[in-house]
Amino acid sequence: MTPLHHGQYVHLDVLANGNLRVTLTKGGDEELDDLHLTHPELTSDMLLIELLEDITCNSDVMFLDDISALDGGHLSQAPVIIEGWRPNDPEEPDYVDESYVHYLTNDDSKVWYWNSYMIISILEHIKRQGEAELILLQ
C-alpha cells in the first residue's frame, strides 16, 4: 500500500493491485457527523467533497460525482477520484467540443471509479465497512 494523500479527514491509499482505498480518519468521522447535523440537505457525494477539501485544494486530486464530466466518452455515471487532471480549455489544442466534458486527463493520470454507485454511496459503504475500494480505470 502506498499513501496517495492523507488529509485531515480522509486517507487515500493506492493498493498493490492499483485500486484506491478510501478511509475516514477519526476526525473525518466526527466531521461527517457534524455535517449531517448542520447541513442535512447535503447528499452523500456533497459530503465527501467537503471531507476531501484539504486534499483537493492542495493537490491535483479531484472527486467527481459523475465520470461523464471527464473526457473519454464514459457511459457510466459512477463517481470517480482522479489524480492528474486539467480543465477542458477551448484555447488548448486538445479541447473536446462537447458541452458535458469539463475536465481532461493526462497520459499519466489515474482514475478510480466506484463500481457500486447504483447500490450504495462511497460514504455509506465506508460507514458500514470502514473503507471503500475504488477500481483503477485501465
Domain ranges of the chain: 2-136
Residue 5 has pLDDT above 80, yes or no: yes
Q: Indicate the pTM of the whole model.
A: 0.84
Residue pLDDT, tens place only, 34-54: 999 999 999 999 999 999 999
- Report how far residue 34's alpha carbon sits from residue 64's, in angstroms, rounded to the nearest whole number: 23
- Per-residue model confidence (pLDDT) at position 100: 61
- Per-residue model confidence (pLDDT) at position 47: 95
Residue pLDDT, tens place only, 80-113: 998 887 766 677 766 666 656 666 667 788 989 9
What are the counts of helices (DSSP H) followed by strands (DSSP E) for the chain?
4, 7
Of 84, 55, 50, give the one whose Cα is nearest residue 65.
50
C-alpha cell read off for 84: 492528474
Which secondary-structure segment (H or E) carries 135?
strand 132-136
C-alpha cell read off for 6: 492523507
- Report how far residue 116's alpha carbon sits from residue 122's, in angstroms, rounded to the nearest whole number: 8
Query: What mean pLDDT do residues 62-86 have?
Result: 77
- Report how far residue 19's alpha carbon sits from residue 77's, in angstroms, rounded to the nearest whole number: 19
Which distant-in-sequence residues (6+ apart) come within 8 Å of 58 by Cβ?
none
Percent of the chain with pLDDT over 70: 80
- Per-residue model confidence (pLDDT) at position 96: 65
